[in-house]
Chain A
Amino acid sequence: MLTLKSVQAGYGRLVVLKGVSLHVRAGEVVTLIGGNGAGKSTLLKAVCGLVPVRRGAVEFAGEDLTRLPAERIVSLGLALVPEGRRVFSSLSVAANLELGAFHRRDRQQVRRDLEELMGRFPILRERASQPAGTLSGGEQQILAIARALMSRPRLLMLDEPSMGLAPKMLAQVYDILAELKRSGTTLLLVEQNARAALKLADRGYVLETGRIILQGTAAELQEDPEVQRAYLGKGYREVWE
């Protein structure tokens, strides 16, 4: 469904992605793990057209995304929940959700989807007229996910949805993702903290300084000593003894 072929991208002189290849099949949940500055967000932005792809190619459902401007991506069925949620803080919760469906022409169905999402996430209905910036971090994350769902994506990409969330909120966000998985939505999940992500994912990639250094099924990655040490927070002794 989504294919990256030796993608190079960066900012100015800085080359962040040094030839990254990966793919996501329809219906799969794929996670991309990596530490600070590995280039995870840059990869998602390159897919979306927010950062230009210098070499290589990005394909989605048979379409070439490599040179497509960011505002055209969403209508192909690709949505991104950006790092740090990025809700439109002074706009109301309802307005944020409506903007998620900005490109859609089927007004009636958009209204039904809005109703459905508000039913699924009662907090959003409760706060519908409140500025999004007044929500708590976890509530904003739910809003950011719901806003992306308003575009009816075939592939949903999430950039560190667990960032800064308390354990209870984290569990709630991952419940939502698990439900999306059950309903057949394809997910590309970027995480730094790999524990929850690997539990949910079918497959995973490990990105380090702009290169994929490891890939495999979620089970394989969970067993990998290097992953355990670097991303699952287990100490050397725990792993090696």
Chain B
Amino acid sequence: MVNRPACLPARETDTQPGRLGFPMFVQQLINGLTTGSAYALIALGYTMIYGILGLINFAQGELYMCGAFVAVLLLATGQVGLVGAFLAGMLAAALLGVALERVAFRPLRGSHPLVPLLSAIGASIFLQSLALLLFGPSDRPFPVQLEFRTVEVAGLPVSSLQGLILLTALGFMALLLVFVRYTRYGKAIIACALDRDTARLMGINVDRMVALTFLVGSALSGAAGILMAMYYNATYPRMGLLPGLKAFSAAILGGVGNIPGAIVGGLLLGVAESLGAAYLSSGYKDAVAFVILILVLLLRPQGILRGKGH
């Protein structure tokens, strides 16, 4: 992260190239999976929205930021518990996503594909500026002190915070897959993504399914924002920018429109970034994601998994 505050425990860059043993490799792997799980959650939003509307919602990173701010502000009041604040943050991001679709995308349906793209970038800039105006530019620490115990898993040190983040994120991904594959509305969303007219013939209201997709995708981005606000102990208006772009790369890597692809792409990207930082130079960390994006676009533009898989 560019804006990572100095007070942070240096988790990912404290390795010296040259004395990287197997435990260090595993540590980097776990670091990568942790940030990668956040990329995956955001990438799911990109990919689901692309699947049903054929557009990239570049304001996805701002939904991540919105989730984090709402949770952090609620926690700071001292009146709300961690779980309550987490759910409220997700809900806020979800509702913001639905509102965004209403005002920034729905009126533009049927126009040239570049138009909603510009609208999304505009929405992204607007939301960042709004957050800047409301909350100021400085970082906010996570209001709840989380235990930084290190537990041994199979002889390897894992921070309990990382374990919690990883398990929560994977849990949400599993829930999403269950929703998409086994519920009526999940299948209806896939049907709209595959063939809108035929879905309408089944009595499926496409507008409602688009709204539902924004609701679910934005809630996941919000969850990612809260998890990363815990991890980096920092919440600030531009926090969604880089994760948003990296998750976009992850979605492309996994095959945009493909749901399992977004998960695989996000995790892979996180790991590649973390290993790249450790074995090359930590300065290249942010570059890794974009090098991967360029390579994928050049070599395999359809992504690892092709088509609208689910």
Contacts and interface: CB of A to CB of B under 8 A. Distances in A.
Contact of B198 (A73, A82, A151): A82
B191 A70 contact: no
Q: In the complex, which of the residues A74, A75, A98, A102 has the most CB atoms of chain B within 10 Å of its own CB atom? A: A102
A204 to B, nearest CB: 24
Contacts of A210: none
Contact of A70 (B190, B201, B308, B309): B201
A90 B206 contact: no
Interface residues of B, number: 21
A201 interface: no
Contact of B201 (A79, A90, A95): A79
Q: In the complex, which of the residues B184, B188, B202 has the most CB atoms of chain A within 10 Å of its own CB atom? A: B202
B194 A70 contact: no
A107 B309 CA distance: 27
Contacts of B199: 88, 99
Interface string B180-219: 0000100110110011011111111110000000000000
A69 B187 CA distance: 21
Interface in A96-111: 98-100, 102-103
B194 A90 contact: yes
A30 interface: no
A80 interface: yes
B201 A98 contact: no
Given A91-B191, A99-B187, A102-B184, A82 B310 contact: no
Given A71-B206, A98-B184, A102-B184, A88 B190 contact: yes
A177 B205 CA distance: 29
A50 interface: yes
Given A88-B198, A90-B309, A71 B191 contact: no
B307 interface: yes
A29 interface: no
Contacts of A50: 197, 200-201
Contacts of B188: 99, 102
A73 B308 CA distance: 27
A180 B61 CA distance: 53
Contact of B205 (A71, A79, A90): A71
Contacts of B307: 90
Contacts of A75: 203
Contacts of B184: 98, 102
B180 to A, nearest CB: 10
A74 B202 contact: yes
Given A89-B194, A90-B194, A90-B308, A48 B187 contact: no
Given A90-B308, A91-B187, A102 B194 contact: no
B201 A103 contact: no
A72 B205 CA distance: 8
A86 interface: yes
Contacts of A82: 197-198, 201
A72 B204 CA distance: 9
Given A90-B308, A90-B310, A91-B187, A100 B202 contact: yes
A82 to B, nearest CB: 6
Contact of A99 (B197, B202, B309): B202
Nearest to B198: A86
Given A69-B200, A70-B197, A90-B308, 11 more contacts: A71-B200, A75-B203, A82-B197, A89-B194, A90-B310, A91-B190, A91-B191, A98-B187, A99-B202, A99-B204, A102-B204
Which 4 A-B pairs have CB atoms at the shortest separation, nearest pair first? A103-B203, A70-B200, A74-B203, A86-B198
14 contacts: A70-B197, A70-B200, A72-B203, A74-B201, A74-B203, A75-B203, A86-B197, A88-B191, A89-B194, A91-B194, A99-B191, A99-B202, A103-B203, A151-B202
